[in-house]
Amino acid sequence: MRWPSLKRCGLRVLERIRQLLRPNRGNVVIFVKNGKERVARRWFNRIHGLKISMTGQNCTVRLELPIDAVASKLVLHGWNTFVKIGSGALLKHANIVCEGGNRSSIAIGRNVHAYYALTITVANSSCRIGNNCMIASNVILRATDCHPVFYRKTGAIANFQKRHLEVGDHCWLCSCAILTKNAKIPNDTIVGSMAVVTREFSEEHTILAGNPATVVKTGVTWEESNDYFWRPEWVDGKPSPLPQKKLASKVGN
Ligand SMILES: CC(C)(COP(=O)(O)OP(=O)(O)OC[C@H]1O[C@@H](n2cnc3c(N)ncnc32)[C@H](O)[C@@H]1OP(=O)(O)O)[C@@H](O)C(=O)NCCC(=O)NCCS
């Protein structure tokens, strides 16, 4: 086992002291465990693997335990920001950032599994991820452009912001998918790897792919468990259909 260096330990102690001395500015973290809420005004390292930093004012973070996090960050620079992470979440190397602005919000539903390096950015905007979603590596959800674009002649703003990005329940975002500020995907949608979703989609049970993303398959659903995926008949290209009962429970999600 490698011991942390003296310098690292010193830095951790200093950070801890800084957190304790810093004026609170109305920022709170609410922990919800077994239906009971507990408001914490000092939250330094309360959840192992999720570092929370709030430099704005009147921000609220609501964490429904248990949450499993590894080297993840929640950074709130804005004012009156609200962030909710539902129970059963798995966050690995996730970066959840409110870049600034007022009344931004991020709501992550229950049992959302983000496997590696999810980035969510909001500013004066909101992002909602439904329940039971699976997010593969390097997915980016950007509910803001962060910088304005103008028409040179009129000075009018060109990148109008709708302020909302939404992912429905039971969606699978494959690796490196990007959802931009106006994106909205309905329940039970699969977004293919490297897809760039820039607008609203309304049909459920589809695969979206490409840049800009379009519907490439309809009437599909998916499952996080991959036990049967390795069976020989699946590898040989003659997959046996899933049991109807199992399928019905997925589709009726
Ligand atoms: C979304 C996905 C699962 C769909 O797989 P599939 O159902 O076998 O899709 P197909 O290969 O039959 O593709 C259907 C069509 O969509 C296109 N397509 C599929 N994925 C695409 C993508 N990521 N980008 C662009 N086009 C894509 C195919 O070219 C094909 O087009 P065609 O009908 O004109 O030939 C798969 O493409 C994918 O992205 N896999 C990555 C999974 C991943 O990230 N796993 C990480 C672990 S969580």
Q: Where are the beta strands (DSSP E) in 133-251?
A: 134-135, 140-142, 164-167, 172-173, 178-179, 184-185, 190-191, 196-197, 206-209, 214-218
Angle made by CA atoms 188, 226, 130, in degrees to the nearest 5: 25
Using a 6 Å CB cutoff, which residues line ligand 1?
136, 174-175, 190, 192-195, 207, 209-210, 216-217
Give the mean pLDDT of 3-15.
77
Measured between alpha carbons, how far is 145 from 163 in angstroms, rounded to an integer?
10
The reported pLDDT for the residue numbered 215 is 98
CA 238 from chain centre, in angstroms, equals 35
- Report strand pairing: 214-218 vs 206-209: antiparallel
- For residue 115, give the ligand 1 atom closest to its CA: 48
- For residue 172, give the ligand 1 atom closest to its CA: 48
Q: pLDDT category, 45, cuts 50, 70, 90?
A: low
Measured between alpha carbons, how far is 239 from 144 in angstroms, rounded to an integer?
42
Contact residues for 45 (Cβ-Cβ < 8 A; gap 6+): 51
Q: Which of 114, 112, 71 is nearest to 88 (CA)?
A: 112
Give the mean pLDDT of 112-138.
95
Q: Are 48 and 69 in contact (CB under 8 A)?
A: yes
The reported pLDDT for the residue numbered 253 is 44
Q: What are the pLDDT digits (tens) for 222-248?
A: 988 877 666 666 666 666 566 555 555
Give the mean pLDDT of 3-7.
75
**Domains of the chain, first to last:** 21-227 (2.160.10.10)
Residue 170 has pLDDT above 90, yes or no: yes
The reported pLDDT for the residue numbered 236 is 65
The reported pLDDT for the residue numbered 25 is 76
The reported pLDDT for the residue numbered 105 is 94
| Weakest mean pLDDT among 55-64, 146-155, 193-202, 219-228 | 219-228
Determine the 3-state secondary structure of 162 from DSSP. coil
Give the mean pLDDT of 43-69.
87
Gap from CA of 97 to ligand 1 centroid (Å)? 29
The reported pLDDT for the residue numbered 152 is 94
Determine the 3-state secondary structure of 84 from DSSP. strand
The reported pLDDT for the residue numbered 69 is 95
pTM equals: 0.86
| Weakest mean pLDDT among 5-9, 13-17, 223-227 | 13-17
Measured between alpha carbons, how far is 143 from 179 in angstroms, rounded to an integer?
8
Gap from CA of 29 to ligand 1 centroid (Å)? 40
* pLDDT, the chain, mean: 87
Determine the 3-state secondary structure of 215 from DSSP. strand
* DSSP state for residue 47 in the 8-state scheme: S
Q: Ligand 1, atom 47: nearest CA belongs to which residue?
A: 136
Gap from CA of 140 to ligand 1 centroid (Å)? 18
Residue 180 has pLDDT above 70, yes or no: yes
